[in-house]
Structure formats: C-alpha cells, structure tokens
Amino acid sequence: MMNDEPHAAAYVKEPLKVDGADDLQWRDSADVLVVGYGGAGVCAALQAREKGASVIALDRFEGGGATTLSGGIVYAGGTPYQREGGVDDNPEEMYKYLKMEVGDVVRDETLRRFCEQSSENLAWLESHGVGFGSRVFPGKRSYPPKGYDIYFSGNEFAPDYARAAHAAPRGHKVAGPGYTGDTLFNTLNDSARGKGTTFYSHCVVDRLVVDADNRIIGVEAIYFEPGTSAREKHLKLIRKVNAYQRFIEKSALKAAARVRDLEEQAGERVYFRADKAVILTTGSFAFNREMVRRYAPKFRNAMPLGTISCDGSGLELGASVGGALGYMDSVTAWRSISPPTQFVQGIVVNREGRRFVAEDVYLGRLGHELAQQTEQRAWVIIDGKAYWSAYKDTIPQPGEEGYLEFRGPLLMNLLFNATRGKTLEKLGEKCGIEAGGLRQEVAEYNSRSVAGEDRFGKKQSNCRPIDDGAYYAIDISVGSKKFPCPTIPMGGLKVDEETGQVLSESGAPIEGLYAAGRAAVGIPSGFYVSGSSLADCIFSGRRAGAAAAQVAVADRERAANA
C-alpha cells in the first residue's frame, strides 16, 4: 500500500489533566467505565455488575464490534457439551496443546487458569442466555458444517501436536444458524442491560482524564444524541461499511475518514466520570494501517478483518498515559485452501519453489508460515486433473450453507487466480517461481507420496503425486488482491495477568486503568486458534470487570465502616 492511500489516522489526544473531579461537568458517572463494547466489553460490564459495581459502557457505534461479525466459536476443554458428544477431554490436555501453540506469551499459571476456567466460562455464558450444543464434527473444517456444534478448530490433528496432547475438538459454536457472533453479543448485551448496565452508543472516546495524582478518573468523548440527524448519518455510515465495504480496504478507510470528519464537525464534547476504573476493550488495530505498517510490516498489504472501529484507539489511549505495548508484530493471517481437498493434496511453494509447511495444516498456521517466506509470496501447485476435479467440487450445491464464505472464493480462484503452464519451467517463469527448485520439489514430493510419507507430516490421505501434463498455480500470497488474506493484529497493552490492570514500561500498574480482549496482550497474542480470541475476550473481560468492581466495593465498605 502506498503512503498516499487512505488510512485510519490516529485521533487519540494526550490525556486531559485536572486538579480533581470537580473541575469538570460530567455527563454521567459510574464506578466503572467500559470503553468499547464488543465481546470483551460486555463480559467486563456483566462481571462488574455481578460483583456490585455500577457500570457505564461506551461504544463508538452500536456495540458488538468484531464479535458480531465472528463465527461465534469459543475454545474450551473438559466441557459437559464434549462429554455429551462422546469426547474425552480435560483442561490439562487443553493446556498441553495450547502451550505448544502460544508459547510464553503469558505465564504458565495464567494459561492453566484460562484452560481450567474454560468450561466454567461456558456455564457463565449459558447463565446469561447463551446456548451451546453437543453434536461433534469428527473431520477437519475451518468452521463446523450445518448441524454440528463442536469441531477441531486448530492444529489438534497435526502429528506433532497429537503426540504432545490428546487431540480433542474444542471449538464450541454458539447455538444458532450460520455465524453466531452476533447471537453471542446480543444475548449478553440484553442480560447486561437487564442487570443495570447503562449504555451510550455513538460515543467515541478520544481522551483519558487524569487527576493531579495521575490517576485515571474519566474520559472525554464525542457523543451523538439520540434522535439527531447527525446520529442517524453516523449510524448509516457504519452499517454501510459493515455490510460490504469492510472487505474492500480503500473503501473502508475512506469511509472511516468520513466518519471521523462527521464526529469532529457534528458531535458534542462530553465527559464521563469513572469513580474507580476505566476498562479499555476497543478491539484490535486492524484498520489503523499506519500502526500495521509500523509494527507488523509483513502484513501491510493483507486484508484487515473486523470493523473500522478496530483502529487501535484503545491501545493509543493506554499508551497516552504510559501504558506499555506488547506483541505488536503478532498477527493472525487466515489462509484457507480447503475445501476443495485437491488444493491440500497439491503442494504449497514459495518463490524458491520449495515447500515450507504441510498443506493440510490449520489455516492460521499456514498464514503464519506464509508470512515468513520471501516477500510473503506462495502458490498452490496442482496438476490438470486436480484442477478440473476441484472446479467440479466447488460448484454450489442446493441448500448449501456457508458457500460464499468457503467454497465460493475458491471457485473464483480457479477461474480468475490460477496460472497455467504446460511445464513446471513455464509455470515458474510465469509466476516468478524458481523453476529448478519447483522441479526438484515436485519430484521429491511425488517420490515420498508413493512411499506413503511426507517430510512435513501431511496426512497420508492428502499425499497425492502431481502428474505430468499441464500445471496450475494459485496465488495465495499475503498481499494477493484476487485472493485476499484476512488478518487481525493480536498485540495490545501489557496487563497484570491477575487483574487485567494496564502496566507501564517499568511494570508498574497504572491506577484506574484496565484492558481486555484485543486491546490487551492475551492468549492468542502468541498464536491464534479459532475460538481462542472469543474465549480470551470472555476470560480477560471477566477478569478486568471483577478486579475493577472489587476496588469499588472495597472502597465503599471502607467508607461505610469509617
């Protein structure tokens, strides 16, 4: 992306310092302010209310954020839904598996707590009206097919992982038709409102307020009053973006600029008081392309995934008062090449013509490994027989669910993103792949396939020799425009792993400030497995909400006993 192309500009201001709370006229006040109201935000609000704190939630748009656009998958182990489906699993096996995936992103005791609490977190969601099921899909899919509730959502089947931990399906889909991230948020939002959470939508926070002791005591925001024409225009803009423009980066970023202009010109400046804590749950920085270029340049040409409110504002708010950032180069890149099975039965090569990963690996692992290759370039190589067989298999079937998300794009790739060569040398020349390396790789792959083995551990059933004749290459590069690679940054503010309180560079806690979800370093900051981000939003949101409420309740008890 060129620097003169549109980008989501930073709009966060330096903190407003006042002598005390009486210096400002507050629009409203509560023990806890939740800034950004998606999956993590609503969980923080609910938990804080359950612990006895008053809560105000603020969101730039209507609430829900990227959670409402997600598949509604929550990663959990040792659950009653697994047992009902005949799955033998427990938190220890979940821990052993995730430890291989996420490494040392959090302390071992934190990862263990995440795993041990995962089943209880599902029960907590269920207590607020969220449903789950027990029908287990035994195969490998990037999303469970219609009629199934639990599936293998990561690398659990891969040989190295299966040797280290019992392979169990842990991706739990929120009950409902199709993608159910919106069901998850809307159900929790209804519960939060019923329990007394006050929600202000169309309220963009761009400044923290601190007192003379540098304690966070509130926020400054731009607010659109209900019933105004400006609010209606603000609403129409975001709905239009979420409907289709979010998949077209230039269009989405131009829309983001229009939204910001409207906010500056027509919004009302207001202040909200946080008597005890501000919790930042504003999502990732996917649509802040300057931040992506600065912190994760390998993904600068990839497609951002989320909403235009995933602009890094929470990270910048935290940094404005000395909050430290971590794992900012960690980005999940979803590169799915199955279905059709013919793609994973072929080979994936880099510019040198060499394989670098098992083709049937989890889509997030494929995207991660792809980003490490020269110029982040890679292609799927198949023969003519596989090409035409794949074409047949990608034709839509009557009543098929999820076609546009899965097989549809792959059909488009066969039609518009496939390069043909009569020989491997011709194919390499057309694509910019080193022909000698490609020829050697195909020969080695064919030889090993006949012997029933693969040096990267691909399943034997997916090892099919590539025949002579015409060859095809499908461009799956990170920056491919015909086959966009969806990405979500996983870095965020460093937090105390017991409370979610934001930490400074020295490791000292910043009084009155917490963070959760993709605004904070969490479990998927090491490596994303489908369902781990929503599970972390629940885990970290509840953690921050409970810790913030505990401060409020303890202070009230001390005041009452004084």
Examine residue 9 and state whether it is found in any structural domain, yes or no.
no
Biggest CA–CA distance in the chain, Å, is: 87
Which pLDDT does position 90 carry in this prediction? 98
- Cβ contacts of 181 within 8 Å, gap of 6 or more: 39, 66, 67, 68, 69, 70, 71, 72, 174, 534
Do residues 313 and 322 touch, judged by C-beta distance below 8 A?
no
In a domain, 270, yes or no: yes
Query: Is residue 11 situated within a structural domain?
Result: no
3-state secondary structure of 363: helix
Q: In 133-288, which ranges are continuous DSSP H helix?
A: 159-164, 181-194, 229-243, 249-266
Q: Are residues 209 and 168 in the same domain?
A: no
What is the number of H-type helices and E-type strands within the chain?
18, 22
For strand 509-515 and strand 347-349, is the pairing parallel, antiparallel, or unpaired? unpaired
Predicted confidence at residue 5, as pLDDT, reads: 44
Is position 10 within any domain?
no
Is 154 inside any structural domain?
Answer: yes
End-to-end CA distance of the chain: 61
DSSP string, 472-504: EEEE--TT-SSS--EEEE--EE-B-TTT-EEEB
**Residue 172: φ, ψ to 5°:** -100, 120
**Are 157 and 291 in the same domain?**
no
Which helix (H) or strand (E) is 509 found in, with range? Answer: strand 509-515
Shared-domain flag, residues 186 and 324: yes
* Residues ≥6 apart with Cβ < 8 Å to 344: 337, 338, 359, 360, 458, 462
pLDDT in tens, the chain (562 residues): 333 444 444 689 999 999 999 999 999 999 999 999 999 999 999 999 999 999 999 999 999 999 999 999 999 999 999 999 999 999 999 999 999 999 999 999 999 999 999 999 999 999 999 999 999 999 888 899 899 999 999 999 888 898 899 999 999 999 999 999 999 999 999 999 999 999 999 999 999 999 999 999 999 999 999 999 999 999 988 887 776 656 677 777 888 888 889 999 999 999 999 999 999 999 999 999 999 999 999 999 999 998 888 999 999 999 999 999 999 999 999 998 887 789 999 999 999 999 999 999 999 999 999 999 999 999 999 999 999 998 887 777 666 565 556 667 777 888 899 999 999 999 999 999 999 999 999 999 999 998 888 999 998 889 999 998 899 999 999 999 899 999 999 999 999 999 999 999 999 999 999 999 999 999 999 999 999 999 999 999 999 999 999 998 888 888 777 7
The DSSP secondary structure of 105-127, one letter per residue, reads SS-HHHHHHHHHTHHHHHHHHHH
Residues 133 and 205 in one domain: no
**Residues 449, 405 share a domain:** yes
Q: Are residues 64 and 90 in the same domain?
A: no
| 365: CATH | 3.90.700.10
Residue 226: cis peptide before it, omega within 30 degrees of 0: no
Q: Identify whether the C-beta of residue 556 lies closer than 8 Å to the C-beta of residue 279.
A: no
Of 421, 447, 475, which marks where a domain is finished?
475
Angle (deg, nearest 10), helices 532-561 and 39-50: 30
Position 158 in a domain = yes
Whether residue 382 sits in one domain with residue 319? no
The answer as to whether 483 is a domain residue is: no
pLDDT (0 to 100) of residue 256: 83
Q: Which of 448, 475, 502 delimits the end of a domain?
A: 475
Give the 3-state secondary structure of residue 172. Answer: strand
In a shared domain, residues 356 and 451 = yes
Given the structure tokens 């287990």, which residue do they identify?
A: 136
Give rounded-to-5 percent helix, strand, coil for the chain: 40, 20, 40
pLDDT at 159: 83
Task: Determine the Cα–Cα distance for residues 520 and 123; give it in Å rounded to an integer.
Answer: 24
Distance CA 241, CA 552 (A): 38
Q: What Å distances lie between residue 284 and 1, 198, 255, 291, 388, CA to CA? A: 20, 24, 18, 10, 40
Report which residue type is found at 372. Answer: Q
Are 159 and 100 within one domain? yes
Check whether residue 235 and residue 369 sit in a common domain. no
Same domain? 351 vs 466: yes
The domain boundary, picked from 430, 447, 475, lies at 475
Which among 521, 551, 552 is positioned nearest to 40, based on CA atoms?
A: 521
Give the Cα separation of 487 and 333 in Å (integer). Answer: 4
| Any domain includes 1 | no
Residues paired with 34 in a beta bridge: 57, 279
Question: Looking at the structure, do residues 339 and 328 belong to the same domain, yes or no?
Answer: no
Read off the DSSP letter of residue 323.
B
Torsion of CA 256, 261, 262, 265, to 10 degrees: 160
Q: Name the residue range of residue 402's domain.
A: 335-475
Task: Provide the number of structural domains found in the chain.
Answer: 3
